[in-house]
Structure 1
Amino acid sequence: MRVLDSREIFKELMIDYVGFPEEGKEPELTNVRFRDLIPEFSRGPRRCSEISDEFLYKHQLDTINALREGKNVILTSGTGSGKTEAWAIYALIERKKVLVMYPTLALSADQIDRLVSYYSALRLKDRVVQVDRPTVKELGDFKIRRAVKRALLVITNPAFLLMDLKRYVSKRTGRFHSELPYLEGFLEDVDLIVIDELDFYGSKRANLILVMIELLVKYILRKTPQIVVLTATLANPEDLAKYLTSITGRETCLIKGEAFKVSNRNYIVLGKNLEDLRKYIVENYLEFVDDDYVKAIIEDPKRFPYYVHEVIEYLRSRGIYGLPHPYLDIGELLSRYVNDEGVTLVFTPSIRTAEKIARRIKDRLSPELRDLVRTHHHLIPKGIRRAIEEETRNGKVKVLVTVRTLLQGIDLGNVVRVVHYGIPLDVREFHQREGRKGRRRTIPFTESIFIPIFESDRRLLSLGEEGLKEFANIPLEYVIINPDNKYVKMFKALFKVVYGASLSDNEIKLLKDLNLVTEYKTLTGVSIKLSDEGVRVWNNLNFYEFGPPYGYTKLIRDEEGERPIDEISTRDVIYCFQPGCFDLSSDAVITEVFRRRVYIEELSTALEKYSFLDEALGYYETVKYRWGERPDVKSDLIKGNLMSRVNVLVEPPRNGFGKIIERPMNVMWVLESSRPRFKKLLDTIVVIHDRESITLNARTRGYYEDFTYGYVYETSFGEDPDILRAGLAFIKLVLRLSPRYRLSLRELNYAVACAMPKQPLIYLWEGECCGITELIDWGDVRKEVMRFKPTPLSSILLWFIDEDVARYISELGIGWEQLRSYALRVLDYIEGVTYLRIKDLGVIKVPKPSRDLKIVSAFVFDVKLGSDKVIYLIAKYDGEDTKSQVFEVTAGSIPYELVRSVNDLVSACVEHGYTLVTLGNELIKYCENSKVCSILMNTLENERKLYDVMRLGKEVLGVDLITFNDIASLIDYELTVEPMEVVKLASNSRTLSSKYLYEKLISLLRTYGEERSKLIYIFYLALRSLSKTT
């Protein structure tokens, strides 16, 4: 077939680009054709006849042979490598009853069509049944159950299967009111279970699927099935093989394959007439450029194309307008591809963008050619989507514009070109997009066209050919298979309780620790049953999220009334759909969240209607005028200069597995200036814009809960939270790029809680709960951090991981080695290095505290309360009594009463000959504005009556980092108030408005401060005792 060469189009349209080729791949073929195994394929429907004369790939035939030998199979192979046919041929030949799971049936329509076609060739079309919630709703319970009972192939998704599993056990025991299971009469006699694209689900849900299969095998199926797992990549396939063998008793065979791929040409589109533009700027405006970075970019023909947009914005900020237009007309370019023999697939970041681009292409075409351009996304009805897919395969559609709906397993035939309008940050999504093209041997070559539209795209593409190659070749993230993790153990144990099966001692202990069961007496002894909390958890355990399966309804509110437009998950409501958040899919803003309903209204109407939005708009306009820019909310939203962000308070488990709660605290509008600043980020140049946050005065609603692994690490008093965040970001980068770990960026999350600025807490928790934190050897991670060799791409990925950290290190000019030292500092806290060093000292005996020792300890700290309040506390202990004082002030000021209290304390120590013991230099800071206090402090220091226990601890113990918990363990002192309790209450947005919560916080702070002032006192005695013996 003939494929258009985009280089000719670029030349004609005067488009600047960078191009580089990729070689094709040819999987190993066998001498067996599909018609040799199933002769009916030659006379079957089109999808059968297309492959009947094709030779099987080696991995397909190996899979069939392994299944014929009664084995399980784990088939690891790329997109488009015929994994579906590998098991389907075996199932058809042997007439096996098959249960196959796809992520969603709507997005797996092509694979389902192929399967229906294969079964139709053997006159078994009516024995193929799809079962999911939309299908049940469409056909009704009776028709579905009748079809399922006589099916040979049932196609479902894991979310539906999980609910049906719960229906099975509830029906058996009669303990819970529930619908009857839909798969009853089929599941019991299943011969083969197929899990398609296991890596699609992420580690948490992949493990949940495996445990669901284990429960099916042990408690529902009458015979042991074979299991086939299809995947693109797995971290530990050997462990998965052992697990499958353990639950089925069958040998598990590991098979690897490659996908067929023709040679490919990559093109990075940079703009139009860029060299002419650069020369024009050099000749006319270079003298007005006073930024060395900008000047160097303008003078460099190779670098200029990658930064042209930022250079133009920079010149505009200098009052230079009317420059030639460098931007690409996307409609003009893509309209040329309707003349191609193959299909061009265009991926866009949103449905709105997809529809807009399709309109722009059609505007360039004559009416008779416009039907050659179509869009494809989930808002288009399923029947129409399937018709579009079929028209694309038949050559009636030449340009198909889509979002993510074509990522999952759809074969559109002669796709010769993929256009990335915006670069996906997820490597897996990038490979899924690329896998849509070049699936036919008649295609001579394929093309990948990259069109940067966001600043993040331009950052990546600024690395040029080598950077894009490095990005494309980043190994896919591992899916961590760990069926021993406590999340799936909890699910399994709850199932057993409801089912009435016996539990192991460890399972009972886990459920008791989580308060999910209670004991009751029977005639034969003591038994357990679900507690009220256990019943709630069992009912709320669903596949994709914890909570009711129906989520929230999104409604649009206008002059015509209210009407539902979509369903939203509970977690998305917490993070994206709070009052004041922008809904970019509909040019609207969320105005209310109430009773599992989310209301949105047209933006301009809502800004005038609601006071909290009008107030934020006023502040937005003030900031824009201060920057010398014209306020235009809609324009800033389109350009990405204005976005909404929900500040979420995460309360992870403190030390291991437990409940995690995520609460929305407030909504902020994040506004960026249009004017760029060029900064060095490690070993690359990035563009930074001034940024300001606007906190909205709107009440947030709801919370999300689930179970995961989490850890809270206390840090040394006075630790810099920015250093901790930077270190955590570096560790996350290393875990992603390390060949040993290849950890998804969603796998491990972190936060640094700063409600107590002088004592930040490190929060670490699993976003994809799979027990990875139990498997990670942090000592080994330390070695990975030490040997990590960054590349320019590493800098860009760091920006994706944590933009705030990237801004911080670029503003301060921090280099890789300094960043590495921050990561090692964080690992010291995670590994408890200080505790490990001092525990060998044993428990230190210290003199009994007494006023006669003439020692006073003082502890001063502050706590942020909301966005504009700060509470200061000073606690003192003299060996017998503790006293504390609390002061509340507006953020940014220091209470006069606190300064006076410090003055009085220092004066009393000098007058009565007391030794003053502190933690850090906080007291000295409050003496700086008092000349008398400063003189008295110097007097105490000169008389060796002023001690900082942190400095003294480092001298005596030889440790750099020391926490209150380390100190308490050393001297056998019990702390009753943990810092996380203070942070949790201080961070609660309702504490300021609730008298009860506020008084509770003050009481907690007094106890917290008084305990630590006493701890400082005793620690000083211990250090003094140790220094005399060493």
Structure 2
Amino acid sequence: MKDTGTILKEKGYDFYYFKEEEIKPEIINLRFCDILPELKELDIGNKYLYKHQYEAYNELLKGKNLILKSGTGSGKTEAWLIYVLSKKIKTLVIYPTLALANDQIKRIETYSEKLGIKCLAIDSLKKSEFLKEYNRTKLIEILSNQDILVTNPAFLMFEIKNIAKKGKSLLHNVIKYANLIVIDEIDFYSPREIALILGLLNLIKMFNERNLQIATLTAMIENPEDLAKFYTNLNKRETAIITGKPFKVENRTYVILGKNLKNIWEKLRKNKDKIKNAGDDVIEALDNFEKFKDNYFKVIEVARANEVEVEKIEFDINEILLEYIDDDYVTLVFTRGINKAEEVAKRLIHSLPKDLQTRVASHHHLISKALRVSIEEGARRGKIKVLVSPRTLSQGIDIGTIARIVHIGLPESLREFYQREGRKGRREEIPFSESIIIPASRWDRHLLSRGKEALDSWLNLPIEKIIINVNNKYRVLFEAIIKFTSPLLKDKINEEEKELLLKLGLISKGELTERGKEVYRKLNFYEFAPPYGINRILIEEDGNKYYLEEISHVDLVEKFQPGCFDYSSESIVVSHKIGGTRGRVVTAIEEEKLNPINLLKKEELAPVYEEYEETKIKWNEEPNLYLDFITGKLSSEVLCVVDPPRKGFGKYLKIPNRVYWRIKSFKPKIKIIDNRTIVYFDHKVIEVPTATYGRYSDYTYGATYELDPSEDTSLIRIGLTYLMLVLRRKLQIPFETILYDVIKYGEKKFFGLHEPNSAGLIVNLDLLNLKKIVNEYVPDNLDEILFEALDEYSYSDFLRYNLDWNLAKRYALKVLDYMLLSEKIIAKFKEKEIAIPKPSRALKLVSFESLFLPLNDDKGIVLFGIFDGENLNVFKIHKEYGSLEDLSEVVKVLSRAIDEKFNFIIYDLFSTEKLLKDLNIKSILYFIKSLKEENKIIEIKEDLKNLLNLDMAPLEEVEKIAGINREISIFDISIEITKANQKISQLKVSSWKNYIKYLDEKLTKYIGENCKSIYLLYLILKEYKNK
């Protein structure tokens, strides 16, 4: 096997290097052929079992369930398979996808054939192929006769639905008579998908006549005990947890920095006097070559920021990859996307003579399945030496001849990095394995610009947890809806399930509601949507149309709005094809190649391109749309508004609101913080004035919290980012398990949390303990880069505060205080029972509330509410292009109340005055000023804060004092505004007021509820003080 260290030295490359010793599982004195003599002719037959394989085999023999936790290359498949083959156990095996399980299936088939055991794999694609050859009855017979049937969870879920609804399916007999179910690669699944798998197990148990055993294989789960308890409760069998070591040969890691670094360093040293505004770390690196290597990317960026000429640091990856073409083993190259994979593979192929070109291949989901299988087989047989893939080969594939992984750009997830790494060094005959890291993406360049220690810290982080929550209500929802719609299972529905269906509005009077029917249709394994994707059409310059791979419904909303870039085809989405009876369904997206000519032809995109060009010229940079795009300096983003469940489990809705382009400068900027040099880049966000289409919904966990109007929303966002950072660093919660939004409408501010994949984490957070963890956490250098990766907008604001970690911590604690606030308030008021007078005009009190809600294009609605104890007046004043409609009716009602000597109750006087000043409403400001002078204004927020010893007292939280129920919250208003904005942007009409009917209705109710609440809270506060 070739040694990359020698190659790099010969070609003049500089690199970091470190070595990991080999790891081997413990072996016992028992061969596979001792258990299964029929395997003697195969390679595996004479191999000795690992200790964990034998322990797993024995526990299964005892009739127990099994959770086998061991690393890659440790023979987890063989652990259950020797039990199945030796005892001829009828088995159902579930892999995430059959495409990723080709190798395991091949091994299962090879072993089974030797013992005369029938084995078959089926999914929706294979089903279609089989039905071309056999009729349905014959296919059911073939499937029923298999001893081992391999499938994926999406196909299994579809068939379980059929059994439950109709009492029959292709897999009816398989499920009925299976003795063992095997769930492999459980680490692959999201929390929502794990919940569905656990639900599938419960449902399978109801149709199964054999009290089947359960075996689960994993490399990473942290809490197997919870899963074990779930399995034991399910089938009353004891569950054994077996752990084993991975198999790894010695591994050598090379981080390639570039060529001729010494020359670059010496030239920079000569220009040392030109490098201003640099921290001690950079100054030391200019004096010491080894420190320069450790901080190479940082020093280069600092030099560029000071306009010191630096030789091009990029190098030709081909030069290195060509060395592996005649190696004894396979090199697997990972890239960050399909386009990069194709580019690398094609360049390498074209650099080779024709007779060697077949030694290189790319592998991704856009290549036909048959070709992928052929490529994998070619690699196993040594015909293919270099495989290039974006991700499809990172999970599940076992091509035993892989000895080297090349990372062209690091993934942002550590789990994905280790999944990539797990593909190599899985055979004893491999002398050593290699990991080659070539910084090529924005993420790893940023990581390395913080120095070698940042990369080391990242590689040594604890890996992200697999979130398995056996009590996830998504599982309960799935089981409940299947049972309720099943003639066979309806009588088995329990109280918890029935209560959930009622609470979510899915059943009424013993029938599914319309919403319930929608949930049944959309509840599929990979997403909450119909079981088909959205067409993606590429329109070429000659007008020809090409259908690309379909996209998911959630990707439509989040990534494929008009004006968004399609990174897989180097195109831009120019339009959506709309259908449906009400013209609201997106049937396809249309794209054109990304170039200035195409953009300038589009009415909405031409001004965006002009602004992009203007920005680049102001930065003294050459506008180059394609170069900025492929280097990650130009990206698109869809700002979605999420309507999460208010507290706990429920429906969430995601609506695309606006599309933005985000540009980053090539020339870096420098900031010195604590003598450390921080490198960052200018950036600009450009709004794309295109209409947005589509919505995505699902069921998950969420929570919403109103903020005090005085809060700075950018600081709250910094606090939330810091909180997510601490969850990752201290509790190993993966980024994006919990997402957050911070929203401001006028003076109303709030934040929401939701889980994009239902995990049940939000409701199970121990907030008091989390406060302690946040308080004690001390950030390190890696946190700065993780902070930026987590939230670029938050990071930009954080830079303005000089990365003040104490500030971030303070606001993270404040966020947790808001989350704890409602319980705090309720506890305070449980002490006393309070009786208040009935609201009446006779009390001579009037509550006053105001609100401004901006809409798109300088439009907005100003609301005033006045409640005198009996009569409620709500006024909606439209604002357009800086002008307000007539305010005379508002003034008339206020004047009458003043004349009748009413006192005015205002919740937050500062916010009210600020709103009126911002909108230049002088007439009502004059009233407020006069009332203050006459002591006719009663502000209650500060009194509530003092009385309850609270730092913050948002209205909707404080309402809970008196158990005041509200129908419409500020969160409902925010989602209605988003819907209205989306409609206005699509129709492009001047009569926008015609399209805010539902918003108007909700606003009237909302402002009315605010007025009544303020009135009641004053009465409660007064009585409480008296007591």
State if a TM-score over 0.5 links the two structures. yes
Of residues 234, 238, 242, the one that matches 2:225 is: 238
Q: Deviations for 1:191-241, whole angstroms, at most 9, x for unmatched residues?
A: 22110011211222112112212211212x221222110011224212211
Q: Which residue of 1 aligns with 2:507?
A: 517
- Once residues 549 and 598 of structure 1 are traced to their aligned partners in structure 2, the CA distance between those partners, rounded to angstroms, is 18
Paired position in structure 2 for 1:90? 83
Cα-to-partner distance string for 1:777-827 (whole Å, 9 max, x where unaligned): 323322332333333223322222222222221222242232222122111
Matched with 1:828 is 817
User: Residues of 1 paired with 2:238 and 2:266: CA distance?
Assistant: 68
Q: Which residue of 1 aligns with 2:575?
A: 592
Preserved contact between residue 863 and residue 872 of structure 1 (Cα < 8 Å): yes
User: In the alignment, which residue of structure 2 is the partner of 1:563?
Assistant: 546
State the match for 2:727 in structure 1: 735
Residue of structure 2 equivalent to 1:677:
669
Instruction: Report the equivalent of 2:749.
Output: 760
Aligned residue identity for 2:602: Y
- What's 1:147 paired with? 142
Of 482, 495, 510, the residue aligned with 1:505 is: 495
Measured after TM superposition, the shift of residue 534 of structure 1 is: 2.7
CA spacing shift, 1:530–1:691, aligned 2, 3 Å: same
TM superposition shift of 1:560: 5.3
For residues 896 and 516 of structure 2, the distance between their equivalents in structure 1, rounded to whole angstroms, comes to: 59
Whether the aligned pair in 1 keeps the contact of 2:93 and 2:184 (CA below 8 Å) is yes
User: Per the alignment, in what secondary structure is the counterpart of residue 591 of structure 2?
Assistant: strand
**Matched position secondary structure for 1:474:** coil
Q: Is the 8 A contact 2:184 2:218 kept in 1?
A: yes
Instruction: Name which of structure 1's ranges 65-74 and 467-476 shifts more when overlaid on structure 2.
Output: 467-476
Shift of residue 393 of structure 1? 2.5
C-alpha contact 1:306 1:462 (8 A) present in aligned 2 = no
In structure 1, what residue type is equivalent to 2:516?
G
Query: How does 1:604-619 map onto structure 2 within 5 Å?
Result: 604=595, 606-619=598-611
- Which piece of structure 1 moves more, 181-190 or 342-351? 181-190
* Structure-2 change in CA distance of 1:117 and 1:464 (3 Å): farther
Equivalent in the alignment of 1:554: 536
Cα 1:363/1:897, change in 2 over 3 Å:
same
Matched, 1:197 2:185: yes
Aligned position for 2:996: 998
Secondary structure in structure 1 of the residue aligned to 2:196: helix
Aligned to 1:525: none
SS across alignment from 1:611: coil
Given the two structures, how large is their TM-score scaled by the length of structure 1?
0.89
For the residues of structure 1 that align with 2:440 and 2:622, how far apart are their CA atoms? 22
Give me the CA root mean square deviation.
3.5
- Distance apart, 1:403 and its partner CA: 1.6
8 Å CA contact 2:90–2:178 kept in 1: the answer is yes
Match of 1:533 in 2: 515
User: Which residue in 1 is equivalent to 2:171?
Assistant: 183
Which residue of 1 is the match for residue 30 of structure 2? 32
Alignment CA distance shift 1:307-1:1006 (3 Å): farther
| TM-superposed deviation, 1:851 | 7.1
Aligned match of 1:209: 197
Determine the C-alpha separation between the residues in 1 that align with 2:450 and 2:666: 23
- Residues 623-642 of structure 1: pairs in structure 2 closer than 5 A: 623-642=615-634
Structure 1, unmatched stretches of 5+, are 173-179, 520-527
What CA distance in whole angstroms lies between the structure 2 residues aligned with 1:210 and 1:935? Answer: 64
Distance 1:998 1:1025, change over 3 A: same
1:601 matched residue in structure 2 = 592
Query: Given that residues 415 and 463 in structure 2 are in contact (C-alpha distance below 8 angstroms), is that contact kept between their aligned partners in structure 1?
Result: yes
Q: For 1:394 and 1:677, how far apart are their aligned partners in 2?
A: 51
After superposition, where does 1:178-577 map in structure 2 within 5 Å? 181-219=169-207, 221-284=208-271, 286-287=273-274, 289-290=276-277, 296=283, 299=286, 301=288, 304-305=292-293, 323-500=310-487, 501=489, 502=491, 503-519=493-509, 528-558=510-540, 559=542, 561-577=544-560
Alignment match of 2:563 (pick from 580, 599, 607) = 580
Instruction: Please list every run of 5 or more consecutive structure 2 residues that lacks an aligned counterpart in the other structure.
Output: 580-586
Tell me the equivalent position of 2:105: 112
Contact 2:359/2:384, CA 8 A, preserved across alignment? yes
Q: Is the 8 A contact 1:921 1:948 kept in 2?
A: no
CA deviation map 1:463-491 (0-9, x unaligned) = 55543343233333333333433222122
Distance in 1 between residues matched to 2:161 and 2:965, nearest whole Å = 45
Instruction: Flag the 1:153–1:848 CA change in 2: closer, same or farther, 3 A.
Output: closer
1:35-69 superposed Cα distances (whole Å, 9 cap, x missing partner): 222222232xxxx32x2222111010111111111
Residue-by-residue CA offset, 1:617-640 (whole Å, 9 max, x unaligned): 233223333333332221211121
Instruction: Work out the CA distance in 2 between the residues paired with 1:907 and 1:166.
Output: 65
| Shift in CA distance, 852/132, structure 1 to aligned 2, threshold 3 Å | closer
Letter in 1 for 2:494: S
Q: Is the 8 A contact 2:442 2:631 kept in 1?
A: no
Greater mean alpha carbon deviation, residues 764-773 or residues 565-574: 764-773
Distance in 2, matches of 1:167 and 1:580, equals 41
Corresponding residue for 1:175? none
- Answer whether contact 2:538 2:545 (CA < 8 A) is retained: yes
Question: 2:582 corresponds to which residue?
Answer: none
User: Greater CA deviation, 62-71 or 654-663?
Assistant: 654-663
Q: Distance in 2 between matches of 1:269 and 1:910?
A: 81
Q: Secondary structure at the match of 1:673?
A: strand
Distance 1:919 1:411 in 2: 64
Q: CA deviation at 1:457?
A: 0.9
Instruction: Give CA deviations for 1:6-29 in whole Å, capped at 9, x if unaligned.
Output: 222222222221222222212111
From 675, 691, 697, the equivalent of 1:699 is: 691
Cα drift, residue 156 of structure 1 = 0.6
Q: Name the CA distance, whole Å, in 2 between partners of 1:246 and 1:882.
A: 56
8 Å Cα contact 2:179-2:211 kept in structure 1: yes
Greater Cα shift, 255-264 or 560-569: 560-569
Change beyond 3 A, Cα 1:931–1:311: farther
Tell me the equivalent position of 1:859: 849
Q: Check conservation: 1:909, 1:916, Cα contact below 8 A.
A: no
SS in 2 for 1:140: helix
- 1:804-819 to structure 2, matched below 5 A, reads 804-819=793-808
Which one-letter code corresponds to 1:163 in the other structure? F
Match of 1:488, SS state, is helix
> Whole-Å Cα distance in 2 between the matches of residues 531 and 149 of structure 1?
36
Equivalent residue, structure 2, for 1:18: 16
Q: Residue type of the partner of 2:783?
A: S
Tell me the CA shift for residue 846 of structure 1.
5.3
Letter in 1 for 2:101: S
The structure 1 residue matched to 2:945, chosen from 954, 959, 966, is 954
User: In structure 2, how many angstroms separate the alpha carbons of the residues matched to 1:939 and 1:17?
Assistant: 74
The answer as to whether partners of 1:834 and 1:966 remain within 8 angstroms in 2 is: no
State yes or no: 1:133 paired with 2:112: no
With 980-989 and 479-488 compared, the bigger mean Cα shift is at 479-488
* Counterpart AA for 1:493: A
1:19 and 1:465 in contact (8 A); partners too: no
Distance change >3 Å, CA 457–CA 634, structure 1 → 2: same
Match in the other structure for 2:94: 101
Give the secondary structure class of the aligned counterpart of 1:25.
Answer: coil
Equivalent residue of 1:590, what SS?
A: strand
